[in-house]
Structure 1
Amino acid sequence: MMHAPPHAVDADATTGKSRDAANTRRLLLSSARRRFAQDGYSATRVRDIAADAGVNVALINRYFSSKEGLFEACLAHARDELGRSDGSSATLDDLVEALTRQVAGPANGDRSLQLLLLLRSSGDETADAIRLNTLRYFADQMAVAAGRSVEDVSSDDLRLRAQIALSTMLGIALLRASSTGLEPLASTGVDGLEGPLRDVITALLAPRL
C-alpha cells in the first residue's frame, strides 16, 4: 500500500485549517454586521453573534481580539465594499453605479446592513471614533472618485459637499430599510435611483469647468 508523503498530508491539513478559519471569520463578520446594525453596539452580545454564526464564542477573541475588534472589522469590511469608489471607479458614472448598487439592495441584505451599521451610534467612545473615521474616509474617497484632486479634498468646502453626498446615500438606505413605506423611494430599483443619485453627486462633487 502506498502512503502519501508526510509533507503532502501536512499541506492538505494546513489548507483545510485555513479554509475553516476563513469560513469562520466570514460567518462571524456576517452575523456581527447584522447584530450591530439592528441592535447597536452596546446591546449586542458576543455570545449572540457566535450563536448566530454557529461557532464557539471563544473564536471571536481568537480572530478579532475583542468585541471592539470585531466591530472595527465590520466597519473595515463596509468601507472596503463601499470603497469600490475610491480608486477602482475611474469615472463619475462608475461612482454613481457603485453607490446605487449599495442603496438599492434588499432592506435586510448585507449591503443595506453595512450602510445602516455606519449610522448606528454605539455608546462606546472607541467604537464611535472608528465609525466616524470610516465615514470621513469614505466621504473623502467619494470626492476623489468623482474626479477631484487629493489637494481639493483637503478643503472644508469640498469635504462638506462630500459629506452631504454621503448623507444622501445613507438617508436613502435608512428610509428604505425602515417601516415608513415611503413611496416611491421604498420600492424604486437600481434603474430608477441611478439618475437622481447622479444628479445629486454631480451637482455636489463634479469638478467645475
Structure 2
Amino acid sequence: MNFEKARFNMVEQQIRTWEVLDPDVLDLLMTVKREEFVPEHARALAFADVEIPIGCGQVMLKPVIEGKVLQALQLNRADSVLEIGTGSGFFAALLAARTEWVRSIEIEPELVRLASANLSRNKVDNVIVEEGDGVQGWASRAPYDVIVVSGGLPFLPQALLEQLKVGGRLFAFVGEAPVMKARLVTCEAEGRFRTEDIFETVVPMLKHAPRRETFRF
C-alpha cells in the first residue's frame, strides 16, 4: 500500500471536503503518520472514512472528525493539554505536535500500554499517558489551556469546565445516540463560558460516563 498517496487522498478528498481548510491542520495530518497508530490487521483502513476498532470497545475516530476538532481548538505552541481517552495515542500525537505538552488519561490498561508503545516508537516525547478514570478531568494538574474528551458524554460535568484556564478551550462529544453534538466550550472569564456546537456525530461513550439523576415516583 502506498501510504503517502493514501494520506494525501485522505486530506484532499475527505478532510478538505468537510471544510477543514486551516493549512496548519492539513499539514499536521499529512505529517503525523496515522498508519503507525492503527492495529496491524487494520492498516489498510488507516486512511479510510471509518472508525477503526482498537480493542476494549473503543475506536479511532474518523479522520474528518479529527480534522474538525483540531481546527476548532486553534492550538498554540504554549498550550497545556488534557486529553481524556487516549485510545491508540494518535490524537495525542497530533495534539503534541502543536502544543507544549499533553497529559492523556486512559481507563483501560491495555490501551495505556498500546498508546505508550505507539508514542514511544514514533518519538513523541511530550505526551504523558496515565491510567485512570478521567471522566471528571484530572484536577491534580489543572488548570489547562485545552481539554479534549475523545469519547461521548451525556452532558459536560462542571468539574471539567472548572479545570479550564481563562481563554482555554474544551472540545467534547455531548449527548446520546442517535445524535451527539461536537461541542466547543471557551472559558471567557472566571465562571463564564461560551458554547458552540460545531457538527453532529455519534461516538462511543466514555466508560463511567455520568448520568443525570432521574426522579422516580
- Normalising by the smaller structure, the TM-score range is under 0.3
Larger of the two Rg values belongs to structure: 1
Q: Hey, which of these two has a bigger chunk of helix by percent?
A: 1
TM-score normalised over the length of structure 1 = 0.24
The structure whose RCO (Cα within 8 Å, separation 6+) is larger is 1
